[in-house]
Amino acid sequence: MSIRTDGDSRMLLLGLRENRGFHYATDWYLRGWKPTQYQWLWHHWNVMNTTFVAGIATGKTTIVAASNLIDCITQPHFIALNTSVTAKQAELAFDMVMGWVEGNPKLEHLIHDISHRPYRSIQFANYARYDFRTAGKNARFIRGSEYDRINHDEAGLDFHGEAIGVLRGRLRGTRPDGQNTPRTARLDVTTSPTDAPWLRERFDKGWKDSDKYDPRLYRSLRVATWDNPYLTKMQVEAMKAEYPPNLVDVEMGGHFPDYGFSMFPRSHVLACVDQGLYDAAFMALYPQEADPDSAILPKKGYKLEEDPRHGITHFEIPPEPGRVYIAAGDPGQDQYPKRNAPCVAVADITEKPYRLVYFDWGSGRGSYNPFLRSYKYVIEKYTPVLKGIDATGPQKGMDELAFENQGIATDKINFTSDKNALLNSLVMDITNHNWAFPPIEGLIRQLSSYTLEGDKKKEPQDIVMTLGELSYLQRFLPPLADVESGPPPPVYRSRRQRTTHTPRRRRR
């Protein structure tokens, strides 16, 4: 164990919860960082269940990292966990902590070791530990451990709340400190607002204005972007300008969404989310995460890319022999999450539910070339029997351009005539739960908020249209037995396609 300094003797004592000196400890150890009033309050809540629902830029990740870090350095043998539905989200707090640790003489000597495999973990000189790892479906990766505190970050993406019960079961036991000190057993849920039923119910139990209020076990906090005193009025206004008016209260105000007028009810959208798809890719890429003693090497053909703010932007699992795939794309030249961002997707439609096996939501950087590269890549990798592409509006002629420059044959979809059928096909598939896709935040958000009026207002919809193409195209497939009996023709032509670009006759 390291030698404590005179500063440690004062600050570690002050930083104990019962001494209410959290802000003094963070100022000393975290390079002068001080919590806001609501961050200080959340840290000091003496309750086993907290629910923190917040808008963007409210300092949610910062307070989670700071609160657990101070608990670790002030309490020997304290064990904390930050987890989420995806690895990147779970590791955001780790990145925050490392920003405070590296090159900080007031904190570095309190760290014993920092490991990155099989998952991110910080071990402290007082035998405390802070882990950062994805939970997996039904919290499969967390079983078998005991913790003092667990934070389930962006828990609202877990629509059924299946991980919560498992995580609660990990908060038990006593610390091996020679005094049998009971573990704190605090379960924090920090998330952007979603309409997951369990999340609303949990929030109401901790909300004083609710008839379900149970202050003995629960506390809830709602924080809006404009509650952050470190943001200027102009910064807040600039953030508002990035969201459609109907999403400002959700994304910035921290209010639960009401998508009653959405074409795709969010409850049905979230019912199509399959955490197992993400887990399969994650375990293939990081096999030691599931089994630290495993000598298995990462598998080829898988890929995961995540944006800290917008979630999964690239998801890829390899094709399997005997499976039937279709591909679709919505060309674009802008950057996600803005409208006109390029999007390419591939679905395994061998049976229902259709599985999303490739998703690429990218940045055109003012060019169609990134889209074309992604589109050609999936054709070569998955050999889809049908290939859809939006060939209207700004993208008019993209199919010809793709064919000429990249050697790509496509099955054209004309949104002018096919859009209603495309959307209706997707509505039927979503409400019948015929889709299975990983927890892609951008996909969930666009589907849940999509309205025809939003289309007229130029709100982002590229992912919706790409999925719609897939739902629409699969209805034009011949029987799967015919597809599997031999290689498909280069371009599948239906009566719809043959007339797609034929000039319409004027009605008399």
DSSP secondary structure letters along 418-467: HHHHHHHHHHHHHHTT-EEB---HHHHHHHHH--HHHHHTT---HHHHHH
Q: What mean pLDDT is predicted for residues 254-279?
A: 83
**CB-based burial label for 64 (10 Å; 0-12, 13-18, 19+):** buried
Structure confidence by residue, pLDDT tens digits, 224-236: 999 999 999 999 9
Q: How confident is the model at residue 247 (pLDDT cuts 50, 70, 90)?
A: confident
pLDDT given at position 132 = 97
Q: Which of 43-52, 237-246, 338-347 has the highest mean pLDDT?
A: 43-52
pLDDT given at position 25 = 97
Q: How confident is the model at residue 492 (pLDDT cuts 50, 70, 90)?
A: very low
User: Which range (156-170, 336-350, 417-431, 481-495) has the least confidence?
Assistant: 481-495
CA atoms 191, 78, 102, 16: torsion sign:
positive
User: Which range (64-73, 112-121, 219-228) has the least confidence?
Assistant: 112-121
Angle at 376 between CA 370 and CA 378, to 5 degrees: 105
**395 pLDDT above the threshold of 80:** no
**Which pair of tokens denotes residue 294?**
């495993």
Residue 13 one-letter amino acid: L
**CB-based burial label for 340 (10 Å; 0-12, 13-18, 19+):** buried
pLDDT given at position 497 = 39
Q: How confident is the model at residue 457 (pLDDT cuts 50, 70, 90)?
A: low
For 246-272, give one letter per residue: b (16+ CB within 10 A) or e. Answer: bbbbbbbbbebbebeebbbbbebbbbb
d(CA 103, CA 79): 24
Residue 252 one-letter amino acid: M
Q: What mean pLDDT is predicted for residues 310-318?
A: 94
**286 pLDDT above the threshold of 70:** yes
Q: Mind giving me the DSSP string for 192-213? A: -----HHHHHHHHHT-TTSTT-
Which of 161, 186, 163 lies closest to 49 in space, CA to CA? 186
Q: What mean pLDDT is predicted for residues 398-423?
A: 66
DSSP 383: -
Asked if omega into 353 is within 30° of 0 (cis), the reply is yes
If phi > 0 it is left, if psi is from -120 to 50 it is alpha, else beta; for residue 322 that is left
CA atoms 187, 193, 197, 201: torsion sign:
positive
Residue 381 one-letter amino acid: K
Alpha helix ranges (H) inside 313-368? none
Q: How confident is the model at residue 412 (pLDDT cuts 50, 70, 90)?
A: low
User: Which range (49-63, 153-167, 257-271, 438-452) has the least confidence?
Assistant: 257-271
Residue 416 one-letter amino acid: T
**Residue 124 C-alpha from the chain's centroid:** 30
Non-local CB neighbours of 455 within 8 Å, separated by 6+ positions: 461
Ordered by where they begin, the domains of the chain are 6-244 (3.40.50.300), 266-498 (3.30.420.240)
* Residue linked to tokens 């972007």: 225
pLDDT given at position 396 = 57
Angle at 54 between CA 336 and CA 62, to 5 degrees: 85
- Average of per-residue pLDDT values in the chain: 87
Angle at 149 between CA 146 and CA 151, to 5 degrees: 115
pLDDT given at position 366 = 82
**CB-based burial label for 238 (10 Å; 0-12, 13-18, 19+):** exposed
pLDDT given at position 294 = 67
Structure confidence by residue, pLDDT tens digits, 29-39: 999 999 999 99
pLDDT given at position 3 = 77
The helix/strand/coil state of 134 is coil
Q: What mean pLDDT is predicted for residues 56-76?
A: 97
The helix/strand/coil state of 60 is helix
